[in-house]
Structures are given as structure tokens and as C-alpha cells.
Structure 1
Amino acid sequence: MRLKTKLVLSATGLTFAIVLVLSALFLSELLRQRIEQTAAANDVLVHEVWLEMRKAVETGLRANPPVDRSDEALHRAVVDALRSETALMQVMNTIVRYSPTVQDVSVTDAHGLTLLSTDPDAVDQPAVFRFSLASVQNGPISRQMRVVFGKPRVLDISQSLERNGAPFLVVHVGVRSTFLKNAYEPWLLDALIFAALAALAAMLSAGLLANVALRPLESISARLESLTKAGGPIPERLLESRSTRSDAVVRVTKTLDRLGEQMRTQEAGYTALQANLNQMLDTLRDGVLLFTADRRAVMVSDAVAYFLGAPLNQDHEKLVGMRLEEIFAPDSVLGEAVLEAFAEGGQVSAQALTLEDGRQVQFSLDRISGQIDEELAGAGSVATLLTLRDMESVAQLGQELEVARRLAAIGRLTAGVGHEVKNPINAMVLHLELLRGKLAPGGAEAFGGAQRHVEILSGEMQRLDRVVQTLADFSRPMELHLKEQDLRQVVEVVMELTAAEMQENRVQVMVDGPREPLMVRVDAQLMQQALLNLLLNGMQAMPEGGAMVVRMRRDHQFAVVEVIDEGEGIPKELLPRIFELYFTTKPKGSGIGLAMTYRILQLHGGAMEVRSNADPGSVERGTTFTFRVPVASGVGGESRKAAGAVQKELGERV
């Protein structure tokens, strides 16, 4: 079966199902309305009988009052009044005779005993239980269908005459379901015929409209085939068979597959370039913007926000597509210089600027020739690459490289020293143990003083052995177990580990972090060790206690943690040396913790810096350690368009 035929049949079948459902709802609503009309009409008859009954009771009791005040005397008087009133019986018989749905009419007392009825055999007999027509009227459509067209039964419509707030006499009108069925069948048959005709008409219309709607596929298929022929050779697996050439839908599908194959082939070369460019922009500290000839940005790196003073959580992808004048404010130092350079139309190489907040930046302007073909060359179209560089970041990067070189040199040195010193120490320890055994207590008194010197030598060798072992541990390559972690949870674990010691040393630690997760790809245990070293270092700098703040935030592509203490501070002349191995300002410090922390951050592609104020009279006295680690890839939205956007923008002008 052709796909076109399947689509037409599917549309027709769907239309038939919809019409069928609507027809069922239409018929059910008609049945409900008819039952409501029947109930309303018979309710009028019940009230008519009820009025005649009340009139008969009032007239009979006035003519023949009860012999006493007992309930039995009143009951006999009411029964005599009802049976002696011929007008009431005439009304009841008239209803049964002329109403098409009523089977009988009766009057019962409060105990259900039939006092008066159009059926003589029911008089003085208990009334038979019947379902109320009101319950059928208010019930679901399934019950209405079952009652009207199912097993014959009699439904009841009643109205009571009350005495002292309780039913005294009750009028019953019995409606037979077969009478309802006979009354409803004519219009129900007409409604079914109408629904069938409507469904047939809808199916024919749907089939015709579907067939007409699919006709333009022939012309669409022809145009798509011309595109595929112009795009190059067609793979044999996508060629059409003779059985499908006449099916327009299949032809369009095959043609779209061929176009997709050609597009994937042509774009495969750009995918790797785009991935490399995105990775470079993610880790680049310089702000990079690429503008087309009409000064519209087609590529923006995350670091641009740092130079514009934008909020850290701003969606910088919105800058893509904006004009140069919309990105750089003309009343700012940077904006004025950039707009002036664009207006002059030349090249700018590392022009230095001082921003309003005192930051030293450089910007460069490089023109990219747009002479792709003669038409583009005649238009003089060019693209412009704007690069923004923070001189403070350059200096900081140089300092980090210098520290890294020092640590690398120390690592190479310790590896050699540890190997050369470890073996002699082991031999010396062995011979000292032998000498100690020979100079055991109880020997000659001449050797009594030598025992003490042996003990001193042994202790010093053990201390030297620990130093060498530390050197070996520091130079040993670390095996990282990287996993995406929420940096807030890493900090929380360290807070739990140090809580008791901080409380004992009267140090109050406050954590200030973002509400949203701060995801990083790190070795959780090593990061906890690095943060633990900073917290303990801050605690030891406050021997009298104090306050410490651990602050977390996101700075573009980096997660930043600051450990701020209000301790004694580090003198300015010692700051460049604090990350050197074995350098310490504490009497009992080892000089290993900060060096190890710096190394851990290096292994994670991060960086670390320190600011300190050692002035005893300053209110800002204390030290702030700041480390940065890259956020996990894929967290947050990208903030630039890839190289494909450049190709698209320039391609539209060709």
C-alpha cells in the first residue's frame, strides 16, 4: 500500500473516530434531556394529584371529623375522606388513561400501606419498592441506557403531604420503562441516522481534503530532487526503487534523507573546529569579540563581562547579535577608545588604558579581510577581531608560573635528595641499633655516657627520615580521581571535620555560598585536604580566637573560594615566599601545608592567590586566601556563538 494512501486512510479514520465520539455525546445528551422532560411532565401530574388529595382530606375531615384525638381515629377519618372523594379518583384514572408513560397512580400512608390506587388489587396492600426516576435522571448515561432499554421496570415519582414535620400521606406515580422506550425510539432512530450520515460525510470530506493537501508534495519533491542533483553524487543506498517512484511522500522522504546526508558531509569539517574554538574560549582569560562589517557581534567570550563590569550571572550569549554601540558605552573609557578605533578603521596593537576603577587593560584591533570573491571585495567588507587583556591578570599569571617553576624545581630536587639520603640513613639506623644492643644497661660504666649520645643520634636520624619521607611524598605523582562535585558539599564536609577544633580555639566560622549548586570536576578528597590546610592555617593565625569567613561564588568559568581570617597577617616582604616548601612564619609550622595546597590546585587546573594586612592598628588586619578551580564542563549556558556563526554571517553577504 502506498504511503499516500495510508495517510489518507489515517486522516479518514481519525475523523470517523472523532465524529463517532461526538455522535455518542450528542445521543447521550438527547436521552438525558428527554428523561428530564418526562420527569418534569410527570412531576406536574404528581402535584395535581397531591392538590386533589389535600383538598379531599380537608373537605372530608371537616364533614366527618375523627371521633377522638388518637392516631387511629385520624387514620380512619382520612381513609374515609379519600375513598369517598370521587374527584380524586377521576383525576388519577385520567392520568393513567391519557399519559403515555404512566402505569398507575396511588396514595399510601406513612407506613407504605396503599390507601387508594388506580389498580384495585393494590388497595390495602403494602406498596412495592420502586427505584426513583430522579435517581435515574441524575445518574450516569450508562444507567439511563440500561434502565430505558434494558429489563422492564417501573420507576416512581412521589410527593408527600406532611403533618408535624413528618410524611403523612404520599402520592406515587409509576412510570414504566417500556413506555419510555416506546416514546423514545422514534427520535432515537432519527438521531442515529443523522449521526451516521454526519460520520459518512466527515469521512468523505477528510479523505478528499487529505488527498488535495498532499498534491503539492509533487512539486516539492521535484524541487528537492533538483537540489540534491546540484549537491553532488547520490549514495546508492538512498536511490529510489521503481516501486516507490510513484509515491510522492516516499520520494520527498528519500530526497530529504539525501539532503541530510549531503549537509552532514559538508558540515563534518566545521564540527571539530567549532569544538576546539569553544574549548579555547572557555579557558581564555582575555575578552574576545568578533564583529562583522556592520559592527554586529557574532562571537563573544565569557571574559568580556569582566571588562564591561556586567553581573556574573548575566547571560552573555545575549551580546551575540548586538551592535558595537550597544555593547560599549561611549561615555566610558573603554567604550570611547574602542569606538574611536573602529571609526578610524585601522589596526590597533596593545593600546593601554586605565579604566574608571583603576584597572590597567590593553585592547587590540585586528582586521580580517573579507575578499572572499570579487563581489565581496568590491563591497570592501571586513570582519574585526577585538581582544581585551587585563594587565593585572597577566602579572598574576606570570607570578603563578614562577611559583609553579619553583615547585617543579623543588620536586625534582626532593626526588633526588630523598633517594640519595634515604639509604645512608637506613644504614646508620641499623648500626645504631647494633651499638645500642652492645651498650645495653648493666654494661661497663665507661660506656654509660655513650648510651645517651646514641639515643640522641637515633632521634635526630628519625627526624631526618621523616623530613626525607615528606620530600618523597611531596614529589611523588598524585593520582586524581576526578568526579563532578558540588563545591558547597566539599566545603560542608571540611566544616564538619574542623568544627570541634575551631570551637576549642574560640574561632567562629561563617560560610557564605550561593543558593544554586556550584559544580566542579575535582578529586573531592584532595580538595578537602587543600581547604583543610587553609582553615587550619587561618585558625593558627588567631591564637586568641576570632572570626573566619569561607565565601564561595562563581566568576565566569571559575568557581572561587575565599578563606578570610582576622589574624596577625603576613608581612608584605614574606608574601612571595609563603608557597615555597618548608617556608613558614610559625614557630612550630612545617612549611608543607600551603605548598601542598598550591600543588593540588595546579593539578586541577586552578590557581591560588593571597592578600594580607599585617598592620596591628588596621581594622582590616588579616589574610585572605583565594583559590579558583574551573567549573564542570556543560554547567551553565555558553556565552558565545561558535565559528559556524561567523561562516553563516559572512556567507549571507556572498
Structure 2
Amino acid sequence: MAIRFHDRIAIRLSLAIVIVVLVTAVTVATLVLRDEKRILQRDLRVRALQLGEIMTRQVLEPLLYEENYTLHELITSYLAARDAFLVYGELYNEQGEKILAREKIPVPRKPVVLAEYAGELPKFLRDVEQSNDLVPMDLVVPISSSKIGVVGYLRLGVSVEPLIRTISASRRKVWAVTAVIAVLGSLAGLWMARALLYPVLLLNQAAHKVGEGNLGMEIRETGVGEIRELSLTFNTMSRRLKELVDEITAAQENLVRTEKLYALGEFSTGLAHEIKNPLTSIKMLIQRAGEQEEALEGEDLEVIIDELERIDHTVTRFLRSARQSDIAVTRTDINSLVEDVLAITRPKIEKSGVVIVKKLAKDIAPVQIDASGIRQILMNGILNALQAMDEGGKLTITTAVDGRELRCTITDTGCGISEEHLKYIFDPFFTTKENGTGMGLSVAWNIAQQHGGRLDIVSSKNNGTSFILVLPYDDTPYS
């Protein structure tokens, strides 16, 4: 049975490797970018605090002396610096009144009540997480002196645009490196998977060929570790299997040859035994005629003719059992065939005092069989049943369809067959009758086999016997 594409181990292992590499690369890249963003945000926060501390020291004295021009120039210089990230700057006195406000670009911002942020520590009104390239960070830093205390406040707008550009550049670089690592890792993983699975695939193909009968084939010993050991084990197994099969084949040929010789011996013995008796009678008549110097005539000639016919009949029966003759099949009603056989055997049945019970199914379609051969089987079954009921009894004949099989069963209430004899019942020349040849059931078995059917005998000592003829059945109408 062909394996579906997505069920192949090579495909599944390759996909698993690619998925693991991709997930690992993406996870590492995500963690790197997250940590880098956290570090950059922290650095920007620290720089903003450092800038606020520096500026508060520079504006402390001009603020105390109300030198507004100096304050204006100082804040303007910070806004105009090339590498400055300051967006706006505002100065407030200690009461929270705005003294000065300068901005690089117009930025909308909410008024602030500095009394709410009174103290000597800087305070972020809008931290880096709440900012973007249009909305800067908002920081309030108290302007204080160790002797005087808080004398004012400095409010700074710190741009996060450089941070965003840096993070975007880092993201592009990290994802580019991640893509390269993912591709190289996937290729390396697929190469490793192929190197690992190639011996297994070779082993699978070799196993299929061995299963198809190509015994003794070997594969190249590739791979490492357990895979290489598996290849060595397969080659050893394949060689040993071929040796065993060759031994079994040779033994089977010898057994068949022995069985044929045994069968030939049995056949010859049985044939010789059956011919010897009539030949003895003929020989005795001829010897007596020679001794008395009389011509053979009258009753003696009739005896010789009868014995010769007996020999001819015996040889014919033996030849028919020994070879598969062609059969001529025709459409035949099995029930009509049963009725014909009963009509032929009715005088013998009535004479033996046996009661006939017929259970013939009415819905059986005609079947293609050799009528004369099947008639001989049924005749043999009925005559054997009558011989088993020498003191009378009941003979039941049944026809029925069971699935794709047609069954004709002849059941008697006679003496039955012992278990010991039952297993030899179809063997040529086996008989328990004094005048039997042991060929009737053997011939019947051959005829059933020629029809693609079989004969079954169900019996036990003193419990009667069922003689079952099973034939293929097809109820498709014939054109």
C-alpha cells in the first residue's frame, strides 16, 4: 500500500526540523528585540534625567537673579544643538507660574499644576512607553539649592524619535539575521535529516523487494551507530532468510517427490489388488479348461467376460481419480438433479426401509455445473448413506444458499464414522467395506474441486453422518 505524501517520515522529520528552527529563531529574535528596546528606553530615560540635572544647575543662578535673557539663551542653545533630542523647555518659579517657554516644533501639551509635583525629585509626566514620534516624553525637574531649597521647576519635552529609529534599524537587522539563520539552519537540518534517513529509506525499499520475493538482496552499509548496525542486521537477515527458504524449498521438493512416490505405490497396490481378484478367477477357469482339455463355453465364458468388464471398470475409475478430466458445464437446476438421483435410487431406498425427507429450497437459481459429475457425487453420497443404515433409518436431503455458496446436504441416521477413520475418508483406496475400492469419495472430492467447490463430511460414531457438497453460487441472471 502506497504511503501518503504527508505520512512519509522524511517529510514529517523535515517539516519538524524546519518548524523547530523557525520557532527557535523567531523566539530568540523576539527576546533580543524586547531586551534591546527595554535597554534603549532605560538609556533614554537616564539621558533625559541627566539633561534635566545639568540644565537645572545651569539655570539656578539666572533664575535667582531673574536674568530672563540668560535663561532664554540657555534653553534656546539646548533646543538648537545638532544632536539634541530636546523638543521644548519651560521654566516655572517656585509658585508654579510659567516664566519662560521655548519649543523646537509646536507640540500640544496639557497645562500642569506643579504643586501636585512638589518635591526635590524629577517626575515623568509622560514616560517613554506613552510617547511616540509625535508625542515626546514629558519631564518635570525641580530647580533647587541646598541652602534655599526649591526655587523653580524645569519642564522638558524629550523626543523619542531617535529611540524609534534605533529600534526600527535594530529590528530590520535582527530579522534579517534571523532569516539568514533560519534558512541556513533549515538547510543544515534537512541535510542532517537526509543523511539520517537515507539508510532507513534504502532499508525500506530493500524490505519491499524482499517481501516481493527478492530474497538474499543486500543494501549498502551506510549511516552511523544504530543505523549502520541496522543495515548490517538486515543484510545478515536477508542472507539467512534466503538460505532458509532454499532449504525449505529443497525439503518441500523432496517431500512432494516422496508423496508422489508414495501415492504411486498406493495407487499401484490398490490397482493390483483390484485387478488380481478377477484375474485369479480367469486364470483358474483357463487352467481347469486346459487340464480337462475342454473348450471354454457357456457359463465359463460369461464369468470371464464379467471379470474382464470388472477389470475395465476398475481401471476406468482409477484413471478418472488420477487425472483431472475436462468438465462440460451447463445451466442446471440442483433440485432437479437431486430428484433425478432419488428416482434412480428409489428402488434400493424402498428395499432398505429408509424414509426420505426432502428440504429443497425453492428460490435457487440454476448454476453452471457438470451435471453428470455432480450426479455421481450425489449418487455416491446417497448409496453410502443407505449402506450405513442397513436396518433402516431416515435420509434427509437439503439444498440451501449460504451467501455465495450453494450447499447440498445428505444426512443419515446410520452408524457414523469414527474420528480415527474420518481423517482418511478422502484418501484413495481407503475403505472400511469388505467389497469397497476406496475410490468413490476420492473421485467425488476431485469432481468438487474441479467445480471450485468442496466436500465436507461431518460424522461421529453411532450418531449418523452429514455429506455436504459446497459449490460456488452466483444468482446473477444469465442473458
Fold match (TM-score > 0.5): no
Q: TM-score, structure 2 length as denominator?
A: 0.39
